[in-house]
Structure 1
Amino acid sequence: MIRYLFLLVGSCCALITLPGTIELFVLTIAGMLPRRRTILVPGSNYRLAVIVPAHNEELHIARCIESLTRADRSGIDASFTVIADNCDDSTAATASRSGARVIVRENPLDRGKGYALDYAFRTMASEGWNAFAVVDADSEVAPNFMTVLVSALRTGASAVQCRYVVRNAHESSRVRLMKVANAAFNVLRPRGRERCGLSAGIYGNGFALSADTLSAVPYLASSLVEDLEYHLALVDAGKRVRFLDTTSVYGDMPAAGAGVKTQRTRWEGGRFRMIREKTPRLIRRIFRGRFDVLEPCLDLLLFPLAFHVALLLIAAATPFWPMRALALAGLATVVMHLAAAIAVTGGGWQDVAALLGAPFYIVWKILLIPRLARSANAKSAWTRTERTAERKIL
């Protein structure tokens, strides 16, 4: 009896992970292909509004604005606007001193990044901007950030997403491991989608939308993963997000403490909620002939890598050899995926060594499941992530 139960569980794990394994395999192969050559188109007379959503970011907002100010704006009429949302610190004053325009929003009921962005977009909609870019308050941008974004938008892109990479990988082995995971999620996969002509996705930081796109698809995304929610709305409307592999935003990741749990439970709990809410509708659309939503559906069905690997390990232990073969093929795909992510982002031996901590990370993630379940049912709200530098200051 126990053997048959184990066989059933293992087989279920193998089949549940199969869509994700297919997704990983295809995007890994495509992501390793050389990127297509692009020609930079000057941004003469192009009006770009850069929006910086911020909730209690007084320690980082000045660095972000300074980074934007230093970036190349040749031929671009750019403005930097901070949407200070439900702040109870000096974020607004600090941003203003740094040279940014500040919009203050106070709404204790509708709290969250999605609400803040929608408010900023609607407030500035009548000001004649050609496009809007979004940069997180704890980030810095590459010098060519605006010129590359504007070039793509001027040549017809509806929406664009650049590389979103970890800025502080040197702080700990955990952050180094997160850097590798982010390289897979935020660089290799969208790079593969771009190579296949698919919509690359939106990752909450370093993306831009044309004014026409925002008019056609308003930013009515208020979940904990509002970027994923909005991307699904774009795909549903027939829009494609282009991936810009030649520029980046650099964001801080928490190295230790409560900030790590806060960030993980928010992101992944919100993603599980999207799986529950959006997958049935996507499947119905596929059966009705909307094959453009097939890849976004496969992406949703791919669990976060830690859970994906945990399920594959269970399946690999099943006594039924076809399921075991599927699991082993899935595990080999994950190894190939991570190796490719390190390669395309120029990583080195430190990134490879960080993978030795992956088993402990998987166990830690499994222990977070109760918190993830609560987060998957939570309403959107600003749950600010504590960074390592702040813990040192405090």
Structure 2
Amino acid sequence: MPATDIITLLGAVTYTGLLVLVSITLVMTVVYCIEVLAAVFLPKRQIQCSEERAPMVVLIPAHNEEAGLAETLKASQKGLYPFDRILVVADNCTDNTASIARRNGAEVIERNDPDHRGKGYALDFGVRQLEHNPPGCVVILDADCVPEASALDRIRRVAGHLGRPVQARYLMTQSEDTIAQKVSVFTFRLKNWVRLLGVCNLGGPSLLTGSGMAFPWNVLAKADLAHGHLVEDMKLGLDLASQGTPPIFCDEAIILSPLPHSVEGATTQRSRWVRGHLSLMGAALSRLPKHLAQGKWSAAASAASVLVPPLTILIFLQGVAVLSALILTALLKLPLIPLGIAFGTLLAFLVATLAAWWVYGRDVIPARNLLGLVAHVVVRIAKFPAAVFRPKSAGWARTERDADSSEN
């Protein structure tokens, strides 16, 4: 083959590869922008609920949570009625979690199975226990979360009215006044509030975010829970949407949890979320064509939401796309289409994120902190490969918090 033909072929292959990269980044960013802008500009969708209250069990999986469990139980009890219960699953605990739960009015079952450790196994153990006297509704709450007064009752009544799982607005609060925690609180809002509200305003399903989740009993009893997936909540939401019972977002119910104080705790938490999310993206991608072909629009929307990677990775991909397009276009004199797509994608992302910050984030990150935010994000992007590919730990991936020295 003549040298000119080889050069032409390499140029064509390079151009095609570049076009694929920028197109993938474009699709992810378009989904993100639609969700965010729908939250910013569309009227808030009103979610109806029933006045009837099915008996509810608040199911709390707990692994070495003695430090904050009492506060969670006291806050949860404020929203209960006499026919409601709290069940704590003390899973492979080596501290006083079980005794603290009993002293604060909760029913407790203890599970000891070192070979199968994790939140999913604890939830399955609790659900199997409830089969002896099933409630009408089960609300799953993490042991370090504080629900607002009416939050649990609200999602119970929505779930009863719609016969679908319900996700409350689950947010993180700052434990320290640092730029790192401000960024974490805002990005958590983007993921767990802004994007979910945008999909809800569009009439779509919600992802599940791990705490403040209400399930009609007949839905949860059939769910696949007994596994050690790193983002068991997101997997469960994807599975339920595929099965025809997609969750819905309830913005009126608010669940709060403090961010970890320690850098190691925050890094562990972020690493777990990122690795788990990336592992689930393959399943979402494989399901999406089937859902579209079968007209399962809610399931397809859930899969599309999962295909938006964590923000650090999305920004990293956008940067790679822009730099690759700039360099290759200049060196090989390629057509400008990939470069235009890459720049347009990055611009759309910035506009949507700034709009979300203006409406939902200025109280967390004032304008004077924006430069610090940019610097922090750049550092986080530089460190993310090490965080994602750090050695995996077995068992519970709970996060070490203040006054908490138990093993993760």
Q: Same fold (TM over 0.5)?
A: yes
- Contact kept, 8 Å, 2:160 with 2:216, in 1: the verdict is no
Correspondence for 1:152:
158
Q: Does 1:328 align with 2:343?
A: yes
Label 1:151 to 1:345 Cα distance change in 2 as closer, same or farther (>3 A).
farther
Q: Secondary structure at the match of 1:155?
A: helix
- Contact kept, 8 Å, 1:134 with 1:208, in 2: the verdict is yes
CA distance in 1, matches of 2:131, 2:356: 38
| AA matched with 1:367 | K
Q: CA deviation at 1:262?
A: 0.7
Correspondence for 2:357:
342
Q: Does 1:28 align with 2:36?
A: yes
Task: Single out whichever of 135-144 and 5-14 deviates more from structure 2.
Answer: 5-14
Aligned pairs for 1:121-160 (under 5 A) are 121-160=127-166
2:396 alignment partner, one of 354, 379, 382: 382
Q: CA deviation at 1:382?
A: 0.3
CA distance in 2, matches of 1:40, 1:303: 32
Label 1:297 to 1:354 Cα distance change in 2 as closer, same or farther (>3 A).
farther
Task: Single out whichever of 298-307 and 195-204 deviates more from structure 2.
Answer: 298-307
Cα deviation, 1:152-201, whole Å, max 9, x if unaligned, reads: 12312310001011122653221111111011100111111112221111
Correspondence for 2:275:
269
Q: Secondary structure at the match of 1:77?
A: coil
Label 1:359 to 1:304 Cα distance change in 2 as closer, same or farther (>3 A).
farther
Q: Does 1:369 align with 2:369?
A: no
Q: Which runs of 5+ in 2 are unaligned?
A: 1-6, 330-335
Q: Secondary structure at the match of 2:254?
A: strand
- Contact kept, 8 Å, 1:220 with 1:230, in 2: the verdict is no
Q: Secondary structure at the match of 2:343?
A: helix
Q: CA deviation at 1:288?
A: 5.0
Q: CA deviation at 1:38?
A: 4.5
Q: CA deviation at 1:223?
A: 0.5
CA distance in 1, matches of 2:156, 2:82: 8
The structure having more radius of gyration, on CA atoms, is 2
| AA matched with 1:385 | T
Label 1:267 to 1:196 Cα distance change in 2 as closer, same or farther (>3 A).
same
Task: Single out whichever of 359-368 and 98-107 deviates more from structure 2.
Answer: 359-368
Q: Which runs of 5+ in 1 are unaligned?
A: none
Q: Does 1:119 align with 2:133?
A: no
Q: CA deviation at 1:103?
A: 1.2
Q: Secondary structure at the match of 1:171?
A: coil
Cα deviation, 1:226-250, whole Å, max 9, x if unaligned, reads: 0111111101101121110112100
- Contact kept, 8 Å, 2:45 with 2:200, in 1: the verdict is no
Q: Does 1:238 align with 2:235?
A: no
Q: Secondary structure at the match of 2:85?
A: strand
Task: Single out whichever of 381-390 and 126-135 deviates more from structure 2.
Answer: 381-390
Count of matched residue pairs:
385
Correspondence for 1:250:
256
Correspondence for 2:46:
37
CA distance in 2, matches of 1:285, 1:330: 26
TM-score with structure 2 setting the length: 0.86
CA distance in 2, matches of 1:76, 1:41: 18
Q: Secondary structure at the match of 1:386?
A: coil
Label 1:38 to 1:289 Cα distance change in 2 as closer, same or farther (>3 A).
closer
CA distance in 1, matches of 2:195, 2:169: 11
Cα deviation, 1:281-306, whole Å, max 9, x if unaligned, reads: 43344345544432223223212111
**Aligned residues: CA RMSD:** 2.7
Label 1:151 to 1:103 Cα distance change in 2 as closer, same or farther (>3 A).
same
Q: CA deviation at 1:36?
A: 2.6
Label 1:141 to 1:342 Cα distance change in 2 as closer, same or farther (>3 A).
farther
Q: Does 1:108 align with 2:117?
A: no
Correspondence for 2:333:
none
CA distance in 2, matches of 1:212, 1:353: 50
Q: Does 1:360 align with 2:369?
A: no
Correspondence for 2:3:
none
Q: Does 1:203 align with 2:209?
A: yes
- Contact kept, 8 Å, 1:53 with 1:83, in 2: the verdict is yes
Q: CA deviation at 1:26?
A: 1.4
Q: CA deviation at 1:388?
A: 4.2
Correspondence for 2:27:
19
Correspondence for 2:4:
none
| AA matched with 1:68 | S
- Contact kept, 8 Å, 2:287 with 2:303, in 1: the verdict is no
Q: CA deviation at 1:125?
A: 2.2
Correspondence for 2:76:
68
CA distance in 1, matches of 2:45, 2:279: 35
Label 1:177 to 1:302 Cα distance change in 2 as closer, same or farther (>3 A).
same
TM-score with structure 1 setting the length: 0.88
| AA matched with 2:122 | A
Q: Does 1:98 align with 2:104?
A: yes
Task: Single out whichever of 327-336 and 55-64 deviates more from structure 2.
Answer: 327-336
CA distance in 2, matches of 1:91, 1:349: 33
Cα deviation, 1:248-285, whole Å, max 9, x if unaligned, reads: 10012124321121111111111111123442243344
Q: Secondary structure at the match of 1:350?
A: coil
Q: Does 1:81 align with 2:87?
A: yes
Q: Secondary structure at the match of 1:303?
A: coil
